[in-house]
Amino acid sequence: MMDEEKGKSAEPTTTTTTTRVNMDREDVDGEERDPEANPLNEPLLKRSRTISSSHLAMVGAKVSRIESLDYEINENDIFKHDWRSRSAVQVLQYLCLKWTLAFLVGLLTGLIATAINLAVENIAGYKLLAVSDFVEEERYLMGFVLLTTANFFLTLFAAVLCVFFAPTAAGPGIPEIKAYLNGVDTPNMYGANTLIVKIFGSIGAVSAGLDLGKEGPLVHTGACIASLLGQGGTEKHRLKWRWLRYFNNDRDRRDIITCGASSGVCAAFRAPVGGVLFSLEEMATWWRSALLWRTFFSTAVVVVVLRAFIEFCSAGNCGLFGTGGLAMFDVSDATVRYHVMDIIPITAIGIIGGVLGSLYNHLLHKVLRLYSLINEKGKLHKLLLSLTVSLFTSACLYGLPFLSPCTKCDASQSDCPTTETTGNFKQFNCQDGYYNDLATLLFTTNDDAVRNIFSTNTPNEFHPLSLLIFFALYCILGLFTFGIAVPSGLFLPIILMGSAYGRLLGMAMGSYTQIDEGLYAILGAASLMSGSMRMTVSLCVIFLELTNNLQLLPMTMIVLLISKTVGDSFNPSIYEIILELKGLAFLNANPEPWMRHLTVGELVDAKPAVVTLCGVEKVARIVEVLRNTSYSAFPILDDVDVQAEESVTKVTQLHGLILRAHLVQVLKKKWFTPEKKRREEWEVRESFNWVELADRETNFDEAAVIKEEMEMYADLHPFTNTTPYTVVENMSIAKALVQFRQVGLRHMLIVPQYQAPGASPVIGILTRKDLIAHNILSGFPHIANSRGSEKQT
Amino acid sequence: MMDEEKGKSAEPTTTTTTTRVNMDREDVDGEERDPEANPLNEPLLKRSRTISSSHLAMVGAKVSRIESLDYEINENDIFKHDWRSRSAVQVLQYLCLKWTLAFLVGLLTGLIATAINLAVENIAGYKLLAVSDFVEEERYLMGFVLLTTANFFLTLFAAVLCVFFAPTAAGPGIPEIKAYLNGVDTPNMYGANTLIVKIFGSIGAVSAGLDLGKEGPLVHTGACIASLLGQGGTEKHRLKWRWLRYFNNDRDRRDIITCGASSGVCAAFRAPVGGVLFSLEEMATWWRSALLWRTFFSTAVVVVVLRAFIEFCSAGNCGLFGTGGLAMFDVSDATVRYHVMDIIPITAIGIIGGVLGSLYNHLLHKVLRLYSLINEKGKLHKLLLSLTVSLFTSACLYGLPFLSPCTKCDASQSDCPTTETTGNFKQFNCQDGYYNDLATLLFTTNDDAVRNIFSTNTPNEFHPLSLLIFFALYCILGLFTFGIAVPSGLFLPIILMGSAYGRLLGMAMGSYTQIDEGLYAILGAASLMSGSMRMTVSLCVIFLELTNNLQLLPMTMIVLLISKTVGDSFNPSIYEIILELKGLAFLNANPEPWMRHLTVGELVDAKPAVVTLCGVEKVARIVEVLRNTSYSAFPILDDVDVQAEESVTKVTQLHGLILRAHLVQVLKKKWFTPEKKRREEWEVRESFNWVELADRETNFDEAAVIKEEMEMYADLHPFTNTTPYTVVENMSIAKALVQFRQVGLRHMLIVPQYQAPGASPVIGILTRKDLIAHNILSGFPHIANSRGSEKQT
Calculate the average pLDDT of chain A. 82
Given this model, what pLDDT does residue B646 score?
64
Q: Find which of B293, B539, B650, B732 to mutate to test the A interface (most A CBs within 10 Å of its CB).
A: B293
Query: Alpha helices of B334-411 — where are they, by DSSP H?
Result: 343-375, 379-399
Average pLDDT score over residue span B709-738:
89
* Average pLDDT value for residue range B136-149: 93
Helical axes A215-231 vs A174-182, angle rounded to 10°: 40
- Give residue A21's pLDDT: 34
CA pair distance A538, A278, nearest whole angstrom: 5
The closest of A260, A271, A276, A195 to A222, measured between CA atoms, is A260
Contact of A189 with chain B, judged by CB distance below 8 Å, is answered with: no
pLDDT of residue A327: 72
**Higher pLDDT among residues A327 and B663, named by residue:** B663
Question: Is residue A498 very low, low, confident or very high in pLDDT (cuts 50, 70, 90)?
Answer: very high
Q: How would you write B254-321 as a 3-class SS string?
A: HHHHHHHHHHHHHHHHCCHHHHHHHHHHHHCCCCCHHHHHHHHHHHHHHHHHHHHHHHHHHHHHCCCC
A63-67, A181-185, A575-579, B407-411: range with highest mean pLDDT: A575-579
pLDDT at A11 exceeding the cut of 60: no
pLDDT of residue B466: 92
Tell me the mean pLDDT in the region A238-249. Answer: 70
- The partner residues of A434 in beta bridges, in order of sequence, read A408
**How far, in Å, are A233, B86, B290 from residue B89 at the CA level?**
55, 8, 20
Q: What is the mean pLDDT of chain B?
A: 82
User: For residue B753, which residues of chain A lie inside 8 Å, CB to CB?
Assistant: 653-654, 722
| pLDDT confidence bin for B324, thresholds 50/70/90 | low
pLDDT tens per residue, range A376-391 = 888 899 999 999 999 9
More confident residue, B641 or B526: B526
Comparing A580 with A17, which gets the higher pLDDT?
A580
What pLDDT was estimated at residue B188?
81
As assigned by CATH, the class of the B26-66+590-792 domain is alpha beta
How many Cβ contacts (< 8 angstroms) between chains A and B?
A: 221
- CA-based nearest residue to A60, from A186, A220, A222, A219: A186
User: Are B428 and B398 a contacting pair, CB within 8 Å?
Assistant: no
In this prediction, residue B781 carries a pLDDT of 77
Beta bridge partners of B466: none
Whether residue A610 contacts residue A751, with contact meaning beta carbons closer than 8 Å, is answered with no
Integer Rg of chain B from CA: 29
d(Cα A230, Cα A233) in Å, to the nearest integer?
8
User: In this complex, is the C-beta atom of A89 within 8 Å of any C-beta atom belonging to chain B?
Assistant: no
In this prediction the ipTM stands at 0.83
Interface contact flag, B589 A288, Cβ < 8 Å = yes
How far is CA B103 from each of CA A421, B138, B268, B300, B303, rounded to the nearest angstrom?
Answer: 47, 52, 18, 9, 12
For residue A219, pLDDT over 90 is answered with yes
Candidate from A403-407, B247-251, B268-272, B499-503 with smallest mean pLDDT = B247-251
A63 pLDDT band, cuts 50/70/90, is low
The C-alpha atoms of residue B702 and residue B130 are separated, in whole angstroms, by 63
Q: Is the pLDDT of residue A9 over 70?
A: no
Identify the band that residue B88 occupies on the pLDDT scale cut at 50, 70 and 90.
confident
Of B569, B178, B548, B25, the closest CA to residue A335 belongs to B548
SS3 B675: coil
Structure-model confidence comparison of residues A566 and B771, the more confident one: A566
Distance CA A47, CA B89 (A): 33
Mutate to test the interface with B, among A312, A336, A536, A643 (most CBs of B within 10 A): A536
What's the confidence (pLDDT) of residue B643? Answer: 65
Q: Each residue of A70-81: pLDDT tens digit?
A: 777 788 877 777
What pLDDT does B63 receive? 62
CA distance A292 to chain B (A): 8
Summarised one tens digit per residue, pLDDT across range B28-47 is 333 333 333 333 333 343 33
Contact between A738 and B743 using a beta-carbon 8 Å cutoff = yes
Contacts of B540 in chain A (CB under 8 A): 273, 296
| Residue ranges in B137-212 assigned as alpha helix (H) | 140-160, 174-182, 192-207
- At the top level of CATH, which class does the domain A81-317 belong to? mainly alpha
Classify residue B358 by its DSSP letter. H
Q: How confident is the model at residue A5 (pLDDT cuts 50, 70, 90)?
A: very low
| pLDDT for res A500 | 94
Point out the residue among B548, B722, B726 whose CB comes nearest to the CB of A730. Answer: B722
Count Cα atoms within 13 angstroms, Cβ side, for B489: 26
Which DSSP string do the residues of A438-503 spell out, in sequence order? HHHHHSS-HHHHHHHHT--S-TT-S-HHHHHHHHHHHHHHHHHHTTSSS--BSHHHHHHHHHHHHH
Instruction: Read off the pLDDT of residues A393-430 as tens digits, 9 standing for 90 and up.
Output: 999 999 999 988 898 888 777 777 877 777 788 888 88
Question: Which residues touch A605 (CB under 8 Å, ≥6 apart)?
Answer: none
The pLDDT value recorded for residue A352 is: 95
pLDDT band with cut points at 50, 70 and 90 for residue A116: very high
Q: Measure CA A444 to chain center.
A: 30
**Residue A94 clears pLDDT 70, i.e. is over it:** yes
User: What is the pLDDT, as a whole number, of residue A57?
Assistant: 61
Residue A446 and residue A436: Cα distance in Å, rounded? 17
Question: What is d(CA B550, CA B561) in angstroms, rounded to the nearest whole number?
Answer: 17
Q: With 60 as the cut, is the pLDDT of residue A532 above it? A: yes
pLDDT given for residue A161 in this prediction: 94
Selecting from B299, B645, B742 the residue whose C-beta is nearest the C-beta of A742 gives: B742
pLDDT digits (tens, 9 = 90+) for A564-594: 999 999 999 999 999 888 888 888 877 887 8
pLDDT at A771 over 50: yes
Q: Given this model, what pLDDT does residue A65 score?
A: 66
Beta bridge partners, B659, equal: B633
* pLDDT score, position A200: 95
A contact test, residue of B331, B641, B725 with most A CBs within 10 A: B725
Nearest CA in chain B to A294: B561
What's the pLDDT at A58?
58
Cβ density class B251-270: b for 16+ within 10 Å, e for less: ebbbbbbbbbbbbbbbbbbb
Q: Which of these ranges, A242-246, A278-282, B12-16, B477-481, has the smallest mean pLDDT?
A: B12-16
pLDDT tens digits for B155-197? 999 999 999 998 888 888 899 998 888 888 888 888 889 999 9
Give B26's pLDDT tier (boundaries 50, 70, 90): very low
B590 contact residues in A (CB cutoff 8 A): 288, 290
Is B656:B76 a contact under the CB 8 Å cutoff? Answer: yes
Which chain B residue shows the shortest CA-CA distance from A556? B300
Q: What are phi and psi of B233, to 5 degrees?
A: 130, -170
Is the CB of residue B314 less than 8 Å away from at least one CB of chain A?
no
* Positive or negative torsion for Cα A229, A230, A231, A235: negative
CB contact (8 A) between residue B537 and residue A292: yes
Checking if the pLDDT of B307 tops 80, the result is: yes
Nearby residues of A586 by Cβ (< 8 Å), 6 or more positions away? A178, A179, A182, A184, A576, A579, A580, A772
Lowest mean pLDDT among B28-32, B579-583, B630-634: B28-32
Do the Cβ atoms of A328 and A546 come closer than 8 Å?
yes
Q: Say if residue B704 is exposed, middle or buried (CB neighbours under 10 Å; 0-12, 13-18, 19+).
A: exposed
Cα A622 from Cα A672, distance rounded (Å): 12
Neighbours of A347 (CB within 10 A): 13
**Would you place residue B467 in the very low, low, confident or very high pLDDT band (cuts 50, 70, 90)?**
very high
B632 in Cβ contact with B660 (< 8 Å): yes
**Test mutation, B81, B557, B569, B638, chain A, max A CBs within 10 A:** B557
pLDDT for A236 equals: 67
Least confident of A214-223, B31-40, B55-64, B753-762: B31-40
Residue B590: what pLDDT?
78
pLDDT at A4: 39
Residue A544: CB partners within 8 Å, gap ≥ 6? A274, A550, A552, A553, A556, B273, B544, B550
Subunit contact A80:B596, Cβ cutoff 8 A? yes
User: Within a 10 A sphere around the Cβ of B316, how many other Cβ atoms?
Assistant: 9
Distance CA A574, CA B101 (A): 29
Of A638-652, B47-61, B459-473, the range with the highest mean pLDDT is B459-473
Q: Where in chain A is the domain with CATH 3.10.580.10?
A: 26-66+590-792
Per-residue pLDDT at B672 exceeds 90:
no
Say what the pLDDT of residue A46 is.
37
Tell me which of A198 and B250 has the higher pLDDT. A198
| pLDDT tens digit sequence for A726-762 | 998 889 888 898 888 888 888 899 988 877 767 788 8
Q: Which of residues 256-275 of A touch B (CB under 8 A)?
A: 272-273
pLDDT at B142 (0 to 100): 93
B296 with A557: Cβ contact below 8 A: yes
Q: Which residues between 520 and 579 in chain B have a beta carbon less than 8 angstroms from any beta carbon of chain A? A: 536-537, 540-541, 544-545, 548, 550-551, 553-554, 557-558, 561, 564
pLDDT of residue B496: 94
Contact B336, B552 (CB under 8 A): yes
Does residue B511 register a pLDDT over 90? Answer: no
Of B75, B88, B272, the CB nearest to A557: B272
Residues forming CATH 1.10.3080.10 domain(s) in chain A: 81-317
Tell me whether A161 touches chain B (CB under 8 Å): no
- Residue of B289, B302, B738 to mutate when probing chain A, most A C-beta within 10 A: B289
| A455 CA: distance to closest CA in chain B (Å) | 19
In this structure, are residues B66 and B72 in contact, taking their beta carbons and an 8 Å threshold? no
Nearest CA in chain B to A652: B754
Alpha carbon distance A408, A413 (integer Å): 11
The confidence score (pLDDT) of residue B767 equals 87
A345 membership: H or E segment, kind and range: helix A343-375
Mean predicted confidence (pLDDT) in B360-379 = 91
pLDDT at residue A186 in the model = 82
